[in-house]
A and B are shown apart, each in its own frame.
Chain A
Amino acid sequence: MDVLQYSIRKLIAGIPLIIGVTLISFLLIVYFGPDQTYSLLGKNPTAEEIAELRSQLGYDQPFITRYLQYLREIVTLDFGSSQASDEKVSSILARTIPVSLALSLPGFILGNLLGVLLALVAAYNRGRWLDKFIMGFAAVGMSISFLIVIIGFQILLSSSEGLDLFPVRGWDTSTPLQYLRYVTVPTLATVFVALGYNTRFYRAVIVEEMTRDHVRTARAFGIPQAQLFYKNILKNSMVPIVTRVVFSIPLIVISGSLLLESYFGIPGIGYVTYDAIVTGDQPVLKAVVALTALLFVVAQLLTDIAYRIVDPRVSLK
């Protein structure tokens, strides 16, 4: 029950963060955003229609009331309906989030696993050509814009100019084979770019751990280099690695998927968010912002718990 108590305390401590995020978003999107009255109504609205819509949208109420209303929506998870499609926002979220997960998860897992592996190999061969080669490849991955990679892979693999192996756009998870066909090109693009950043970061962490005194001790007792690396040093590096992995989850799910989904026409939450941005669909935007804030607080909590598992010096008090 220690863990439960700790979790609850941490979640409560995350409330200022949620308030901050929602406040800023609310300020920017709703309060300072353009007056939506006229864009929502058709031509030649009557005075009553205007007044009714304005009261519905809450334009006649003080700021704090409107903000509290927003908070209430978050707690009840009821954001109303999308202004563009009239579908309930919560049902939109329920529909699109699994799609985004199915899209981002393979790339996320592969990107990190490969990143750690490459980093280990690079650090093990520190200073030699294999290290420089891997780091060079990472530098390249870091230097090409994600968009360019996406377009490039699409040309190479999906288009008639290239190999034409995969579909250009779209999404179909009816069978595992179809899923693979549609998820491969986006995943390859994600991994290519992620590897650049991940490998460099993880290598730096591992090199830092390599220079610690206890590594010298282990060497002095004859422990073989390979065991040192893949058992001792790796475990020591887990704290920063885990932090990064967990903290990148909220980013991947929302920001990362936005570009991929818009480009490949995949109906996930990123695509919906982008649509909402373009059309100014406030209910959807408010929901997505709140969701991200919550995800971050949960991510923080998960990281703290994960620390406890990999580093015995950290206590849950």
Chain B
Amino acid sequence: MNTVLEATTANAHGDSLWLKALHKFRHDRVGMWSLGIVAAYALIALGVMLGWWATDWAAVTGPKWAPVSAEYWFGTNIIGQDIFARALYGTRTAFEVGFIVALGATLLGAVLGAVAGFFSGTIVDEVVIWFMGVLDSVPFILLVAAIAYSLQGSPWAMHIAMIATFWITTARLVRGEVIKLKGLEFVEAAHAIGLSNRLIIFRHILPNTLHILLVQATISFVAAIKSEVILSFLGLGVKDGMSWGLMISESTFEVLAGFFNNFIAASVLMFGLVMAFNLLSDALQDALDPRTVSAS
């Protein structure tokens, strides 16, 4: 290890990981742009939710397969609905699904991972690991189908199945980190003062895994959006409302007839959000990684 490099990257004021990360992130041009794009999408989704635009997404207002025009920015689909409005509405659905799943998966993963890691080697840990292995082994689509089946077609089956799958990676990472952390002295000290295990896990150890949780949340968000596309196509996804997946599902017949607008609108919009989010996730990871040294 090169001590010159170590010495120069450690700030003389001893800033926390978060301040350093913020500073590093601000200099990451790709990261900042991605954040901007994601924020723009979020704004669109918010607008749809508050009813500012795309309220007419289901309205059959135009002719079948109208081309791109001033009135219909993306043309219309086979029934005559405004593709642009539907694509905007899809943004709201994407954020809704992404947010719920990211939140659920991250919370579940954090708690179970921390408990497993803290009690590593004991039966508690074994049970959690077994559980992770089991859920990992069930093919995702089958799990969605099975949950949908058992919930008799509830629209939340998709979300639940996604959370039930995505929490595993987060839990594994948190577990690994907690195992490392619990060997550190501040945990020993906490035990010595007589703090309960619950307090130690949730107030002292878990906050030190926030950087992992943040990155994993963004990954879960992206995975949710991408999975929704496939699930909706298979009829296992979004039931009410409109989503990019449903649009693409609709478009499969249209493209065979030579009409691509629906397909392109949904694909491009989705690609934009997912790519930006992926790059954002990368930038976050780089900023929060205490080991990386900038070469510029």
Contacts and interface: CB of A to CB of B under 8 A. Distances in A.
In the complex they form, whether A and B have CB atoms below 8 Å apart is answered with yes
Interface of A: 16-17, 20-21, 24-25, 27-29, 31-34, 127, 139-140, 142-148, 151-152, 155, 159, 161, 250-251, 254-255, 258-259, 262, 273-274, 277-278, 280, 285, 288-289, 292-293, 296
Contacts of A285: 142, 145-146
Given A27-B150, A161-B258, A262-B234, A143 B139 contact: no
A155 B271 contact: no
Interface string B116-153: 00000000000000110111111111100111011110
Contacts of B229: 145, 147-148
A21 B137 contact: yes
Please report whether the interface of chain B is mostly helix, strand, loop or mixed according to DSSP: helix
Which 6 pairs of residues, A with B, have the shortest CB-CB distance? A20-B134, A32-B150, A28-B146, A143-B275, A296-B137, A277-B145
B274 interface: yes
Contacts of B50: none
Contacts of A250: 137, 139
A86 to B, nearest CB: 22
Contacts of B271: 143-144, 148
A147 B232 CA distance: 11
Interface string B192-215: 000000000000000000000000
B275 A155 contact: no
B233 A29 contact: no
A127 B296 CA distance: 11
B149 A289 contact: no
A17 B137 contact: yes
Contacts of A274: 141, 234
A33 B282 CA distance: 41
B142 A148 contact: no
B275 A289 contact: no
Please report whether the interface of chain A is mostly helix, strand, loop or mixed according to DSSP: helix
B278 A143 contact: yes
Contacts of A159: 255-256
B248 interface: yes
Contacts of B234: 259, 262, 274, 277
A27 B263 CA distance: 38
B138 A151 contact: no
B230 A259 contact: yes
Interface in B268-285: 270-271, 274-275, 278-279, 282
Given A24-B138, A296-B136, 20 more contacts: A17-B137, A27-B150, A28-B147, A28-B150, A29-B146, A33-B150, A34-B152, A143-B274, A143-B275, A143-B278, A148-B248, A148-B270, A250-B139, A255-B142, A259-B230, A277-B142, A277-B149, A280-B149, A289-B142, A293-B137
B20 interface: no
B9 interface: no
A119 to B, nearest CB: 16
Contacts of B63: none
A35 B138 CA distance: 23
Contacts of B145: 277, 285
B130 A17 contact: yes
A254 B295 contact: no
Nearest to B230: A147
Contacts of A277: 141-142, 145, 149, 234, 236
Nearest to A295: B137
A255 B139 contact: yes
Nearest to A196: B278
Contacts of A258: 139, 141
B267 interface: yes
16 contacts: A16-B130, A20-B133, A24-B135, A25-B138, A139-B275, A140-B275, A146-B226, A146-B230, A147-B233, A148-B229, A151-B263, A250-B137, A250-B139, A258-B139, A259-B233, A273-B141
A21 B134 contact: yes
Contacts of B252: 151
B235 interface: yes
Contacts of B255: 151, 155, 159, 161
Contacts of A296: 133, 136-137
A32 B145 CA distance: 13
